Structure 1
Amino acid sequence: MTNKQQEYDELIPQLASLIEGEKEEMSVLANVSAVLKERFGWFWVGFYLEREGELRLGPFQGTLACMHIKIGRGVCGTSFEQQQSIVVPDVEQFPGHIACSSLSRSEIVVPIFDKTHRPVGVLDIDSTELNTFDECDRQNLERVCEIITKTLYS
């Protein structure tokens, strides 16, 4: 088991316990983004939520962020539209990448679903290093998003 996997195995039950029974969407998402940023030290951690046919900035930890993203555009909009996680080792190589910050070098985006498996938003995480995110991150961040679904959207 990698150190990263151990970190997730410790963090995920704590996160589930922290948000269990909570229904205030902004509070839950704010705390999840704070916990993830604090634990892993990533450059930017936050949420975009579908509102009126576009993704709008939700709770986040980090620097200034884009406030509106068209569905199907950039990594976030593509992940939402395709309803699947996307790991981007080098954002410069992702066609149509939306650069909210020039410091972002790699990214992972994980969709969040409601109980009917309709996408409601995405978890977006950026790093200032290349190749930060891998299969371990994808699997575990999908677990985090499943907990969010059970807490908020079931």
Structure 2
Amino acid sequence: MFDINVFENLSVESKLDNMLVMLEGLVQGEDLPITKLCNASALINALIGRINWCGFYLIKDNALVLGPFQGMPACTTIEIGKGVCGSAALKRETLLIKDVHKFEGHIACDAASNSEMVIPIVKDDKLIGVLDLDSNEFDRFTELEQKYLEISINILNKYIEWEHII
């Protein structure tokens, strides 16, 4: 059973430390990759807080296609190099965008989004997809959260056989 109230009075860093432990527990004992990503997006959504969208886009036919997520319905396909997600995928580096309205070529899947963080998923030098987080707050995401979410991707890479997901 998951109880979000347990994390209510923890510092941000303690909350993020707990997120990593819980993520590993959720994915290591599960067989289906899609189930792992569903629980990962739910956990991240619950513990990061103040976000309006959290989920995965995965590579298929050289484009990013919508995977498991939490939030409003989203764009189903994003070209590599387009928008924040496509740019992070192309560069293979995390993008922390303080104001998405100032990002040239931003794709507005949710009109409420004002800031965004996208972490590429790369395993064995192969681009797998991205983890995308949006917030209705400007300048919402921190470098500390970036660090922990990048570690989250390492945990997912350890336990997911990506070739079985798409």
Distance in 2, matches of 1:138 and 1:11, equals 13
Tell whether 2:63 aligns with 1:54: yes
Q: Deviations over 1:97-152 (max 9, x none)?
A: 100011001000001122x1211000000001011101111111000001011111
Q: Structure 1 length as normaliser, TM-score?
A: 0.94
Q: Which has the larger radius of gyration?
A: 2
Q: Runs of 4 or more off by more than 3 Å in structure 1? A: none
- Can you give the 5+ residue segments of structure 1 that lack an aligned partner in the other structure? none
Match of residue 80, structure 1, among 89, 101, 111: 89
Q: CA deviation at 1:21?
A: 4.1
Tell whether 2:154 aligns with 1:150: no
Q: CA deviation at 1:25?
A: 1.8
Fraction of identical pairs, as percent: 38
Q: Deviations over 1:38-96 (max 9, x none)?
A: 22332100000000110000000000100000000000001011111000011011111
Match of residue 35, structure 2, among 27, 32, 35: 27
CA contact (8 A) 2:98 2:116 kept: yes
Distance in 2, matches of 1:64 and 1:95, equals 23
SS in 1 for 2:144: helix
Alignment-mate amino acid for residue 79 of structure 2:
K
Aligned length: 152
Question: 2:6 corresponds to which residue?
Answer: none
Tell whether 2:121 aligns with 1:121: no
Tell whether 2:11 aligns with 1:6: no
Tell whether 2:141 aligns with 1:137: no
Tell whether 2:115 aligns with 1:106: yes
Question: 2:3 corresponds to which residue?
Answer: none
Distance in 1, matches of 2:95 and 2:82, equals 13
Q: CA deviation at 1:3?
A: 2.3
CA contact (8 A) 2:41 2:55 kept: yes
- Can you give the 5+ residue segments of structure 2 that lack an aligned partner in the other structure? 1-9
Distance in 2, matches of 1:66 and 1:32, equals 20
Q: Structure 2 length as normaliser, TM-score?
A: 0.87
